[in-house]
Amino acid sequence: MTKFRAKLTFILIVLIGSSMLIAGIFMAKVLENSHVKSLQENMERELKVIASSGVWDYQGTESELFQFYTAQAHRLKEATNERMTYVRADGKVLGDSDQLPEQMDNHLNRPEIAAAIAGGIGYTTRYSDTLKEKMLYAAMPVKNPAKVTIGYIRISMSLEQVDQSIRSLWYFLISGLLLLFLVAGVVSYRIAKSITHPIEKMTKVAQQITNMNYESRVPTYQDDEIGQLGVAINRMSESLQGQMARIQENERRLQGVMENMMSGVMMIDRDERIMLLNPSAETILGFSSQELLGKKYNEAKQQFEFTKLIQECIELQEPISDEMMFYYPSERILDIHLSPIAHEDEEWSGVLIVLHDITAVRRLERMRSEFVANVSHELKTPIAAVKGFAETLLAGALNDKETAVSFLQIIFDESERLNRLIGDILELSKIESKRIPMHFSPVYLPEFLERSLSVLRKEAEKKHIELTMQVEEDMYIEADEDRLRQIIINLLSNGIAYTQEGGKVKLRVEPLDMNADGDYERLRLIVTDTGMGIPKKDLPRIFERFYRVDKARSRSSGGTGLGLSIVKHLVEMHKGTIRVESEVGIGTKFTIELPVIH
């Protein structure tokens, strides 16, 4: 039972009980009064009957009088069971049913006698010294025909009798009251329960709402104010449920955005503590959320300049953007945007920091500008040569036929080189911009490689280089045929170009990851030569654009420095890998691994 229900039950019991008690007491009093009144009326009637029986003319000595009236009194007591007293006009008691008159004092001063002297019949209720108990007295004067008082008769009865009946009245009343109390208790409990039960229900629902359980509802079967309160609570809980669902949905969405965005997001609250860090920010900064969340920004072991930038944003209360070099967890360039978060009601509530890793962008930009510089430089050399030799020819060398022919040959070679260079540059930019889609088709390798090799045969023969191929029958690969040919030709022509007269250049094809059925998922293409090789220090860079081990050597071979970088791109477009091993003076080995099926 709840406190409220107990209280309500108690109040109801007290209210019902006390009103019943008051009514009971009132009723008892009324009953008592009417009881006494009817007793008095009876006594009055008796007195009048006795008075009219007229025994007042008895004459004799005092003791004879005593004897007569005492006998008379006894007789009457026998008949009525009431004490009877005869008193003379002067107050002397002549006879009494319960006492000897000789021993009794003058009775004129008795209140009932005094009242009878004053006005007819006198009543009193008092303690009788003679009988040692509480009595109701009634006295009446007796008059002779001349209307002179000749004496008084007094009857009295024990009040024990009256009290008895009043007591039983009270017993009845009290037991009735007790019973009623019991009933009142049950009824009060019922009433209290009917009032408090819905309130208890509502309290329970409210508690469940506090515990984020928005499903529970108050049963509403009443149509009164409490019922309306229940309906209101249900509506509130419904609306809360809806709002909560919306908030959670928004939160989920926001969470999704935060977790999947490429930019790092970090938030600092009013107390300058880090309160949010998305996964990208974790990666960019190299710290986990656990390490940073809740920490003050200046105690989070961040790079000094970064910490200073945050401080600046807090102090200035203005958005700041900056680009900064970070050295942990690796060297990177970060683009940092800081903006103070301001709400309408508050001055500011924190700082929002957005981090972008722009290392790749910056590197690309650098590469672009380097590329432009390289291209210009590479173009300048043959153009300068063409211009120089043409000038010399114009200045008179034309007259010397032999010189003129050799100069013109140089001009022709240089413009040829220029042509190749521009062709390679265009090719590379096409590949890099990924404008041309791949056209995969099955390529039957023995035939395809034979055809590719035949393009280079003449060149190899010129240098007396042995050009050979080793490929098994039935070998197929799915590839972009033109591009695969370019890969092979580039590698083989490099091999021929950087191998001395009489050397060897070889192409070999091996299946990779072969299973028991003879199926293979990958192929290995190996191009080896017995040429001059590449120094160790240059190996990591030979796939870079325009990189040449030896400018003079490359130029004499007619190279542009773009061949290998084109090859690397094309291999990657086939989802393959390329690597190089080389030893100066012994030879070079390029190994390409390609998947068979795309």
The CA–CA distances, whole Å, from 163 to 31, 41, 566 equal: 12, 17, 132
Alpha-carbon span 388 to 365, nearest angstrom: 34
Q: Which residue has the tokens 């009064």?
A: 33
Among 531, 569, 592, 594, binds ligand ADP (CB under 6 A): 531
- State the number of binding residues for ligand ADP (CB under 6 A): 22
Q: Is 549 in the site for ligand ADP (CB under 6 A)?
A: yes
**Residue 461 CB, nearest approach to ligand ADP (Å):** 18
| Contact present, 473 and 512 (Cβ < 8 Å) | no
Q: Is 529 in the site for ligand ADP (CB under 6 A)?
A: yes
Q: Kindly tell me which of 513 and 572 has the beta carbon lying closer to ligand ADP.
A: 572
The C-alpha angle 357, 361, 362, rounded to 5 degrees, equals 95
**Residue 567 CB, nearest approach to ligand ADP (Å):** 7
Q: Is 494 in the site for ligand ADP (CB under 6 A)?
A: yes
Cβ-closest position to ligand ADP: 559
Tokens, residue 372: 């432009």
Tokens, residue 148: 């002179």
Alpha-carbon span 563 to 431, nearest angstrom: 13
Q: Is 110 in the site for ligand ADP (CB under 6 A)?
A: no
Which one-letter DSSP state was computed for residue 272? S
For residue 285, give the nearest of 327, 222, 320, 247 by alpha carbon. Answer: 327
Among 542, 571, 578, 594, binds ligand ADP (CB under 6 A): 542
Task: Tell me the window of 9-17, 379-387, 397-405, 554-562 that interacts with ligand ADP (CB under 6 A).
Answer: 554-562
Residues in Cβ contact with 381 at an 8 Å cutoff, skipping those fewer than 6 apart: none
Task: Tell me the window of 14-22, 228-236, 284-292, 528-536 that interacts with ligand ADP (CB under 6 A).
Answer: 528-536
How remote is the C-alpha of 254 from its chain's centroid? 14
Task: Tell me the window of 51-59, 224-232, 326-334, 532-540 that interacts with ligand ADP (CB under 6 A).
Answer: 532-540
- Count Cβ atoms below 10 Å from residue 99 Cβ, excluding itself: 17
Q: Is 378 in the site for ligand ADP (CB under 6 A)?
A: no
Q: Is 559 in the site for ligand ADP (CB under 6 A)?
A: yes
Q: Is 449 in the site for ligand ADP (CB under 6 A)?
A: no
Q: Is 382 in the site for ligand ADP (CB under 6 A)?
A: no
Answer whether the bond into residue 595 is a cis peptide, omega within 30°: no
Among 554, 576, 578, 592, binds ligand ADP (CB under 6 A): 554
The DSSP string of 415-474 is: HHHHHHHHHHHHHHHHHHHT-SPP-EEEEEHHHHHHHHHHHHHHHHHHTT-EEEEE--TT
Alpha-carbon span 483 to 420, nearest angstrom: 17
**Residue 553 CB, nearest approach to ligand ADP (Å):** 6
Q: Is 560 in the site for ligand ADP (CB under 6 A)?
A: yes
Among 564, 571, 592, 594, binds ligand ADP (CB under 6 A): 564
For residue 140, give the nearest of 221, 244, 60, 50 by alpha carbon. Answer: 50
Among 92, 483, 506, 548, binds ligand ADP (CB under 6 A): 548
Beta strand 133-143 pairing with 320-326: unpaired
Residues in Cβ contact with 261 at an 8 Å cutoff, skipping those fewer than 6 apart: 278, 280
Q: Kindly tell me which of 201 and 485 has the beta carbon lying closer to ligand ADP.
A: 485
Q: Is 230 in the site for ligand ADP (CB under 6 A)?
A: no
Task: Tell me the window of 50-58, 299-307, 370-378, 561-569 that interacts with ligand ADP (CB under 6 A).
Answer: 561-569
Task: Tell me the window of 206-214, 326-334, 452-460, 555-563 that interacts with ligand ADP (CB under 6 A).
Answer: 555-563
Q: Is 588 in the site for ligand ADP (CB under 6 A)?
A: yes
Q: Is 122 in the site for ligand ADP (CB under 6 A)?
A: no
Kindly list the residues in this chain that would bind ligand ADP in the complex (CB under 6 A): 494-495, 498, 529, 531-534, 542, 547-550, 554, 559-565, 588
